[in-house]
Structure 1
Amino acid sequence: MVIVSVTPEIGLDEGYTYSGGLGVLEGDKFYAMARMNKPYVVITLLYNNGYVDYIFDNNNNPVPVPQRHSKTFRSMLNPAGYLRINLKDTEVYVSVLEYRLNNAKVVFLSPQSPRWAYDLVDRLYIENDIDSKFYKYALLAKGAAEYIRSRIGLRNVDVIDLQEAYTAMLPLVLPLPPQKYRIIIHTPGPWGHPSFPAELFRREFGFRFFEDPVILTELGLSMSSEVIVVSKKMRDVVSKVIPHHMHKVRAVTNGVDVIRWVDGRVLKAYMEGGLNIDALSRIKREMASELEAYLSKYKPGLRINDSLTVAWIRRLTRYKRPDFILRFIEENPQRDDVVFVLGGKAHPFDEWGLSMMRRFRELAAKYSNVVYIHDYDISVAKNILPKVKLLLFTPFPGWEASGTSFMKSSMNGTPTLASRDGAVPELITDGFNGWLFGFDERYLVDIGSDPRANEINEKEYSEFSYKLNQVIQLYYNNRDEYWKVAVNASLTLISNADIVNTLKQYYKL
């Protein structure tokens, strides 16, 4: 029996078919399932120009540019014929490209004609209007349905996992018993729960919904036998949003692929039972010189030596609070003994996030110990997360579904200073394998309009700043205690946050 996962994005080690955490997580699942030689099929769209990269104009404004797929990525994809689907009362020809690894494969759907269908998949999560967005995901649903029918066979399907609400149109075009479908909700935030005018559904599918607009999450919740959320805290948060579906909700905390993300030297020491302070400190000294060489392309002349390296590096959006590290650096200019590695990019329609890109770049120009990496992606993450000595994880309480960057860094002996959000309360104990700040709120506060948001931010920033200064002092004044926390981070997270543990809760492996 075949396990099917339908997703709007997947982050492989090559190609630009992802934007952030969901895609990277789906990539981790794929590589782990392939390594276990399981019959696993991921169905997604092939975006002609990826997600987004940036260049900066003379006024320091980020200018979005396409992401061109490499020849290496293109060569990985094997042509597997065509599908024909009906969209907007027109026959659409969809090229099927497959990436196989052992008994698992990723199926990329690439519409070729007519031209308007080809243009639907120009970029991931970037559309010109609501109609284009609707038809992009209608295309994914109809293409996935046809592939499952004609290439896998309905009798051979064990379960179909719908990753995020963008895939929730599939049960409309492939009606199966509810036990065949599960929806996995990867974010409590509104961007993960799109809605569309009921007229578009009537026109394309022939359904006349009572609700207008139609919320895709509600469709997926109603037509699936089970709802999976990606941390225990998220289950508490969504209980106040979808109380009428809580009888179907189960928490399965995310993990990461140890083989993909843990440095070979750290993993070898762990597997041989020799991951201790001496071993980790030696490995980190080697990594410091490697990191210095890597960062020199962003900051020529940078010297790290024995400095504490601190990273805030992830998608730039308001709820992740990049302004915390900006404020700390400006308020603590005397901390020139610390190298700050800032990274991330915003969605091109997110003006607040774009403003953070400008500020990150200005800070890197102003301070010799600040580096900004604007082209953050999987390859950058593999060079930064294992090799810095402290990761900052600062989401607003209640808004982070799980988070996995802190898992990747911790596994490599890079402890995290984190807010109490997502999967952090399950995996990090303050002062033992990382450090914590802030409140463990388990409800959604509107960070754009609720006056409580500013109050929470101020209180949490105060504790964040205090804790970060404490960790800096610990590193320079009591190095053995720092290394104890770092070793504990690696030992506990490799054991407790392995993606294999997650997959065993999803499937009968």
Structure 2
Amino acid sequence: MVIVSITPEIALDELFTYAGGLGVLEADKLYGASRIGLDYIVLSIFYRRGYVDYRFDGETPIPLPQRQPREAWRILEPEEEFAISLRGEEVIVRPWTYERGSAKAVLFEAVCPRWARVLTDQVYVENSIEEQFLRYAFLAKSSAYYLKEIIGLENISVIDLQEAHTSLLLLALPLENRYRLIIHTPGPWGHPGFPGDFIAREFGSFLGDYVILTDMALERIGKAFVVSQKHRDIMAKVFPRYSNKITAITNGVDIHRWMHPKLLKAYLESNLSKDILKNVKGEARRELVALLKKYKEKIDLGDKLVIVWTRRLARYKRPDFIARFIEDHYDVNAFFVLGGKPHPRDSDGLGYARWFRRLHLRFSNVVYIYDYNVVIAKKIFHAMNLLLFTPFSGWEACGTSYMKAGINGAPILSSRDGGALEFIVDGDNSWFFGEDLRDFIDIYSDPRAKEINEKEYREFEQKLLSIIDLYNSDRERFYEIAFNAIKTFVPKADIVNALRKYYVKE
């Protein structure tokens, strides 16, 4: 029986069909499912112009569409086109397939008419609320056709809806007891709502004047998942009516995809040691220098602590913490690698990009990687010494960047949020700062947010200074903590653990 996952994005190694963490996670699941032989199919959208790239005019970020890599056309195979109805018109859909062992991704492209092509243009970039709705109606109707006519409903064991964006499928193809909703964020962008007349026009059901898709989905399905233990506590307060339906399964990463090959080999052979870790870090550091020289001509890492903040540039992830720290302590004996993209219409995010670019231009020990992607991320995780994971407590559903750091022997300085609470032992395999908040505080309007940020920045600052001092004064102790990270993270972080909980019955 086939396992089906529907997702608005997926970060396959060879394609730009993702914006951030959800896409990376869904690709890790696909690769992991293939490795353990699950019959696993992912349905998503083929975004012709990717997500977004940037160039800079001085410090000002200029957004550009992404060009798909040439390799995309080598690894994708087209299937027979079919038609769906949108806005009362026929829309031609071309499915592109990507296969990896027992797992497969099917990416839908709107071929014509011309107005429909924009629906599969750029990830999460829409020109209106109606266009956003039509994009996910397109995904729902394309998925419904593919499930019914190509896979066959009798062959499907479960359909997992990744985020509420995909839940319009419940209306396009009503099936009892086979749908599950997986909620990946407490943030408002993960719980979109649309005018009821949009839904009535496309699916023939009037559900109210304005419909929050998460509410609509939770009302209809029998089971939902969230992606860390803390996330369950938060979501039970955000959607209290449905708390009895919600179960937590903590995310993971594909260790075969993200671990340095030599560390992975040593781990699989039960041969990991501090000496192997040190040697691998030295080798990866040389590769990192070559990467960084593409962004800044003169790079002098020496034996400095390599500190990394690489995430989507959004307010709740608090990129301002590392930016403030660098401005306050630019002369510390450390090297800073910053990376990540803002959404092209997020004024906060664009402001952080300008700030990072300013630091890049001003300080010799700072590099900002503005075109951060999966391929670049692997090189950075292999070489880094310390990851900074700084979300506002309560806003990070799980996160996986700290997992990728830990499995590569890089400890983390983390706020108390997401799945990090299930991995980090403060002072033993990484470090914590800040409070573990279990109320969902609106960082845009609640006056407490500013007070919390200021207090937590001061703790972050002191913790980071102490870690830099530890690295420079007691390298062996630092590597003990780094080695503890890899030993404790790898068994827990492997995506296979999550896949077995989702799909393999004992």
- TM-score scaled to structure 2, two decimals? 0.98
Shift of 1:272: 2.6
The one of 486, 493, 497 equivalent to 2:489 is 493
Shift of 1:224: 1.5
Q: Is the 8 A contact 1:33 1:104 kept in 2?
A: yes
SS at match of 1:67: coil
Which residue in the other structure is 2:450 paired with?
454
- The whole-number CA distance in structure 2 between the counterparts of 1:230 and 1:284 is 31
- The whole-number CA distance in structure 2 between the counterparts of 1:295 and 1:454 is 34
Which residue in the other structure is 1:312 paired with?
309
Report 1:186-265 matches (<5 A): 186-210=184-208, 212-265=209-262
Which residue in the other structure is 1:506 paired with?
502
Q: Is the 8 A contact 2:182 2:224 kept in 1?
A: yes
SS at match of 2:383: coil
Which residue in the other structure is 1:36 paired with?
36
Shift of 1:398: 0.1
The one of 340, 345, 366 equivalent to 2:341 is 345
- The whole-number CA distance in structure 2 between the counterparts of 1:397 and 1:103 is 38
Amino acid at match of 2:417: D
Shift of 1:355: 0.7
Q: Is the 8 A contact 1:182 1:225 kept in 2?
A: yes
- The whole-number CA distance in structure 1 between the counterparts of 2:122 and 2:330 is 40
- The whole-number CA distance in structure 2 between the counterparts of 1:91 and 1:7 is 23
The one of 367, 373, 389 equivalent to 2:363 is 367
SS at match of 2:215: helix
- The whole-number CA distance in structure 1 between the counterparts of 2:80 and 2:275 is 55
Give unpaired runs (5+ residues) of structure 2: none
- The whole-number CA distance in structure 1 between the counterparts of 2:376 and 2:31 is 19
Shift of 1:399: 0.1
Shift of 1:239: 1.1
Which residue in the other structure is 1:89 paired with?
88
Q: Is the 8 A contact 2:37 2:102 kept in 1?
A: yes
Amino acid at match of 2:299: L
The one of 467, 470, 473 equivalent to 1:471 is 467
Shift of 1:370: 0.6
Amino acid at match of 1:95: R
Post-superposition CA distance 1:303-322 (Å, at most 9, x none): 11211000011100000000
Report 1:292-441 matches (<5 A): 292-335=289-332, 337-441=333-437
Amino acid at match of 1:116: W
- The whole-number CA distance in structure 1 between the counterparts of 2:279 and 2:379 is 17
- 1:135 and 2:131 matched: no
Shift of 1:414: 0.8
SS at match of 1:239: helix
Shift of 1:83: 1.7
Post-superposition CA distance 1:217-276 (Å, at most 9, x none): 111211222110000000001111111111110000000000000001111222232322
- The whole-number CA distance in structure 1 between the counterparts of 2:270 and 2:495 is 21
Q: Is the 8 A contact 1:289 1:304 kept in 2?
A: no
Which residue in the other structure is 1:27 paired with?
27
- 1:277 and 2:274 matched: yes
Which residue in the other structure is 1:13 paired with?
13
- The whole-number CA distance in structure 1 between the counterparts of 2:214 and 2:242 is 11
Which residue in the other structure is 1:180 paired with?
178
Q: Is the 8 A contact 1:391 1:417 kept in 2?
A: yes
Q: Is the 8 A contact 1:289 1:305 kept in 2?
A: no
Q: Is the 8 A contact 1:92 1:113 kept in 2?
A: yes
Q: Is the 8 A contact 1:226 1:249 kept in 2?
A: yes
Amino acid at match of 2:73: R
Post-superposition CA distance 1:333-385 (Å, at most 9, x none): 331x2000011110011001101101101111111101110001101100111
Q: Is the 8 A contact 2:84 2:91 kept in 1?
A: yes
Amino acid at match of 1:258: I
Which residue in the other structure is 2:148 paired with?
149
Give unpaired runs (5+ residues) of structure 1: none
Shift of 1:37: 2.4
SS at match of 1:268: helix
Post-superposition CA distance 1:19-48 (Å, at most 9, x none): 000000000000111122221110001111
Q: Is the 8 A contact 2:284 2:379 kept in 1?
A: no
SS at match of 2:18: coil
Amino acid at match of 1:123: Q
Q: Is the 8 A contact 1:400 1:421 kept in 2?
A: yes
- The whole-number CA distance in structure 2 between the counterparts of 1:486 and 1:328 is 23
Amino acid at match of 2:116: A
Which residue in the other structure is 1:74 paired with?
73
Amino acid at match of 2:51: Y
SS at match of 2:464: helix
- The whole-number CA distance in structure 2 between the counterparts of 1:18 and 1:410 is 24
- The whole-number CA distance in structure 2 between the counterparts of 1:292 and 1:78 is 36
Please identify, of 320-329 and 97-106, the stretch whose mean Cα deviation from structure 2 is larger.
Answer: 97-106
SS at match of 1:94: strand
What is the CA RMSD across the aligned residues, in angstroms?
Answer: 1.0
Which residue in the other structure is 1:122 paired with?
121
Amino acid at match of 2:17: T
SS at match of 1:326: helix
Which residue in the other structure is 1:49 paired with?
49
Q: Is the 8 A contact 1:397 1:439 kept in 2?
A: yes
Amino acid at match of 2:489: L
Which residue in the other structure is 1:164 paired with?
163
Please identify, of 273-282 and 39-48, the stretch whose mean Cα deviation from structure 2 is larger.
Answer: 273-282
Amino acid at match of 2:504: K
Q: Is the 8 A contact 1:28 1:257 kept in 2?
A: yes
SS at match of 1:329: helix
SS at match of 1:169: helix
Segments of 4+ moved more than 3 angstroms: none
- The whole-number CA distance in structure 1 between the counterparts of 2:302 and 2:319 is 26
SS at match of 2:326: helix
Q: Is the 8 A contact 2:342 2:350 kept in 1?
A: yes
- The whole-number CA distance in structure 2 between the counterparts of 1:361 and 1:127 is 26
Please identify, of 225-234 and 265-274, the stretch whose mean Cα deviation from structure 2 is larger.
Answer: 265-274
